[in-house]
Amino acid sequence: MPWLLSLLTLGIFWVAQQTQLSRLARSNRDLTWLHLTFLAIVTVVPFTTRLLADFFTYRTAFLIYWANLVLLGVAVQVTWTYAERAKLIRDDTPTELASAFRRRVVIAQSLYAVGALIGLVSVPLGITLIILVQLNYVFAPRLPILSSL
């Protein structure tokens, strides 16, 4: 189970980063450092997932894992925002893509926050909600009813 949770988490954020990178016209030193910061946060995912697996019912382990998700979301959002402001995005990028990207990050982070709040009451329920959110982001692009989330 921890392996699957790590895979889902890393896969979702990998897709987000690849979406960003595919829309860049160019890069600069600052964006590179922002992406390296994102990768530094990614390297913590196996640790926080393992911590959660080893201490499944502990709120502290759950909140550390959730904080890792928040930092990943913040990092991916900051890199996109910086790339937009520095005019590094390709000119042919549809404005809908940029707004959809921002919306998906905000919605995902909001749903993760709901999972964290539920996890304060029941860690297993909080984890279940976070897994459901992740499954949504894995399958939603293929399901019209969920694709707007």
Residue 3 has what pLDDT? 79
What pLDDT shows up at residue 142? 58
pLDDT at 98: 84
Mind listing the pLDDT tens digit of every residue in the chain (149 residues)?
Answer: 677 888 888 999 999 899 899 999 999 999 999 999 999 999 999 999 999 999 988 999 999 999 999 999 999 999 999 999 999 999 999 888 888 888 889 999 999 999 999 999 999 999 999 989 888 888 876 555 555 55
Please classify residue 73 by burial: count the beta carbons closer than 10 Å to its beta carbon, then call 0-12 exposed, 13-18 middle and 19+ buried: buried
Give the per-residue pLDDT at 99.
Answer: 86
pLDDT for the residue 54: 94
Nearest one of 76, 75, 104 to 20, comparing CA atoms = 76
Q: What is the model's pTM?
A: 0.86
